[in-house]
């Protein structure tokens, strides 16, 4: 099976989101074709991205000439120009691109993108705002929502889970969450996360990764 991580990606719109994404992909060894309608923006990426062109992504013939139809994956990073975002996404779908990611600035915009062919919709501002809200209002060190009501959080262990093996702490039965990894304070600055097992003994100062329903992981973190 081919490694999909190495498949080329076309990124349309090289603003803050699209540009950062294209640079990160290129840095990871992925072949990237960057497209933007502003020549000043494309010039700024010259020498940083292997392939960057100035073109109108709402022009079907322009996309065909650039060989966009040959790409398996594409990202529409166009932000505030909703019409251009929608047109570019619809053209990628018309060209038969199999895996289309598109940035949306609102849920309504995202629903439209899904209807016209986007397989994945990204709401970076909304998602970041939601994440920061969880961090500000709870005792979380980090928060990642992995589904509509499911999240993974980084936090510290509550008193009930300290100095006993996880199987004896009954974390899962009491809180409905699972401790999946731990970084031990005893290992100092060189500490790394390791998988938690039923025999893992948590100590004060440890950092743990916990997964579960959002309400449950937040209740667990509040008990720390």
pLDDT digits (tens, 9 = 90+) for 145-169: 777 788 898 999 988 889 999 999 8
pLDDT digits (tens, 9 = 90+) for 53-103: 999 999 999 999 999 999 999 999 997 899 999 999 999 999 999 999 999
Neighbours of 9 (CB within 10 A): 20
Q: What is the largest CA-CA distance in the chain?
A: 66
Same fold, 4-122 and 127-222: no
d(CA 223, CA 49): 47
User: What pLDDT does 198 receive?
Assistant: 92
pLDDT digits (tens, 9 = 90+) for 116-140: 999 999 887 767 676 677 666 667 8
Does this model's pTM top 0.85? My answer is no
Classify 4-122 by CATH class.
Answer: alpha beta
Q: Coil, strand, or helix at residue 71?
A: coil
Q: Coil, strand, or helix at residue 199?
A: coil
- CATH number corresponding to 127-222: 3.30.70.1450
3-state secondary structure 72-141: CEEEECCCCCHHHHHHHHHHHHHCCCCEEEEECCCHHHHHHHHHCCCCEEECHHHHHHHHHHHHHHCCCC
Task: For the chain, give every domain's residue range.
Answer: 4-122, 127-222
Find the mean pLDDT for residues 99-117: 93
Specify whether the CB–CB gap between 76 and 101 falls below 8 A.
yes
**Percent of residues, the chain, with pLDDT higher than 90:** 60
Distance from chain centroid for Cα 92: 21
């Amino acid at each position: 099976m081919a490694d999909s991580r190495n498949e080329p990606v076309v990124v349309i719109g090289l603003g803050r989101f699209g540009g950062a994404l294209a640079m990160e992909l290129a840095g990871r060894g992925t072949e990237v074709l960057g497209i933007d309608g502003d020549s000043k923006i494309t010039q700024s990426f010259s020498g940083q991205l292997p392939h960057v062109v100035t073109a109108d992504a709402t022009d079907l013939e322009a996309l065909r000439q650039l060989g966009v139809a040959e790409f398996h994956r594409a990202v529409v990073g166009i932000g505030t120009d909703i019409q251009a975002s929608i047109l570019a996404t619809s053209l990628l779908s018309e060209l038969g691109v199999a895996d289309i990611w598109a940035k949306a600035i609102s849920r309504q915009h995202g629903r439209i993108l899904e209807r016209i062919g986007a397989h994945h919709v990204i709401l970076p501002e909304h998602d970041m705002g939601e994440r920061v809200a969880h961090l500000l209002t709870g005792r979380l060190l980090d928060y990642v929502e992995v589904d509509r009501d499911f999240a993974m959080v980084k936090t510290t262990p509550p008193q009930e889970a300290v100095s006993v093996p996880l199987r004896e702490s009954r974390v899962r039965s009491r809180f409905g969450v699972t401790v999946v990894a731990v970084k031990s304070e005893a290992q100092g600055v060189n500490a790394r996360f390791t998988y938690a097992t039923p025999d893992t003994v948590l100590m004060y100062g440890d950092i743990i990764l916990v997964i579960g329903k959002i309400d449950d992981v937040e209740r667990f973190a509040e008990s720390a």
